[in-house]
Amino acid sequence: MPPRPRLPRLPELTPPAEPRRGYTQLEILDELRRLILQGHLPPGTGLPLREFTRRFDVSAIPVRESLQTLIGEGLVEHRTNFGYTVTQLTAAELRELYVVRERLESTALAAAVRSATAEDHRVAAESHARLEQAVLDDDPAAYHRETRTFHLALTRPSGMARLVHMLEYAWNITEPVQPMVHVSAAERAVLHADHSRQLAAFLAGDAEALLAATEQHHARLNHVVSGLPTDTGLFAEAPTSKDI
């Protein structure tokens, strides 16, 4: 028998909207997703059904339904006789998803830079300011969180809702790894300089400069991702020929 999954120390749960009625199934889903995307439940972490029913003070049904939805989103896996776990990618799978993200983002940016409004510019600039503050504070978790917000602020004005949804889906699957938390402060500063060039081109409506800055940023980002440690339990082991 595999060992009983144990949860890491978790932050306080977001209270239900109606405390007297308790958590709804949608609230449980949102909370589990938040814990995974914010890195509180790292890749490979066991998700014991009984423990979550206790924490949410509900029956097993809404927790199980939420976990099944997260399986569909690529954030959770289920194995017979082992239970639910946060999806653990191989290093190669993470690199592949970053390539997918790059292609989707570049396509969206080409459209977004032409259709962005003054409000879109304001949202992007404010996101960049929060990202810069995370660099100054040397706050890796905040930097990782704000990086996503900044990139989506640049792509959402594209008006390509389905493409942006696919970008967010691919991004979600990589989130439990929290790549930016594992890189050095110097690497984060270099990546942030790319963000500054992206913002300047976006605000200027210069699609060519924006795509060039984005290409350079992703080349640097792919190099950083390739250097993440593979011997610390962060990644799943690559399948061997016997497993295929």
| Residue range 143-198, pLDDT digits in tens | 999 999 999 999 999 999 999 999 999 999 999 999 999 889 999 999 999 999 99
Instruction: Among 3.40.462.10, 1.10.490.10, 3.40.50.300, 1.20.120.530, name the CATH number for the domain at 91-226.
Output: 1.20.120.530
Please, which pLDDT band fits residue 6 given cuts at 50, 70 and 90? low
In whole angstroms, give the CA distance from residue 87 to residue 75. Answer: 5
Model pTM score: 0.87
Sequence-separated contacts (24+) of 53-58 with Cβ below 8 Å: 55/13, 56/13, 56/22, 56/23, 56/28, 56/31, 57/22, 57/23, 58/22, 58/23, 58/28
What is the pLDDT at residue 81? Answer: 82
What is the pLDDT at residue 243? Answer: 54
What is the pLDDT at residue 231? Answer: 87
- Maximum alpha-carbon separation in the chain: 60
What is the pLDDT at residue 137? Answer: 95
In whole angstroms, give the CA distance from residue 73 to residue 165. Answer: 12
In degrees and rounded to multiples of 5, residue 13 shows phi and psi of: -70, 150
What is the pLDDT at residue 1? Answer: 43
| Residue range 214-238, pLDDT digits in tens | 999 999 999 988 999 888 888 998 7
| Residue range 82-113, pLDDT digits in tens | 899 999 999 999 999 999 999 999 999 999 99
| Residue range 33-59, pLDDT digits in tens | 999 999 999 999 999 999 999 999 999
| Sequence-ordered list of residues with C-beta below 8 angstroms from that of 110, at least 6 positions apart, any chain | 158, 207, 211
Going from N- to C-terminal start, the domains of the chain cover: 25-86, 91-226
Mean pLDDT of the chain: 92
Q: Looking at the domain 25-86, which fold is it?
A: Arc Repressor Mutant, subunit A (1.10.10)
What is the pLDDT at residue 222? Answer: 92
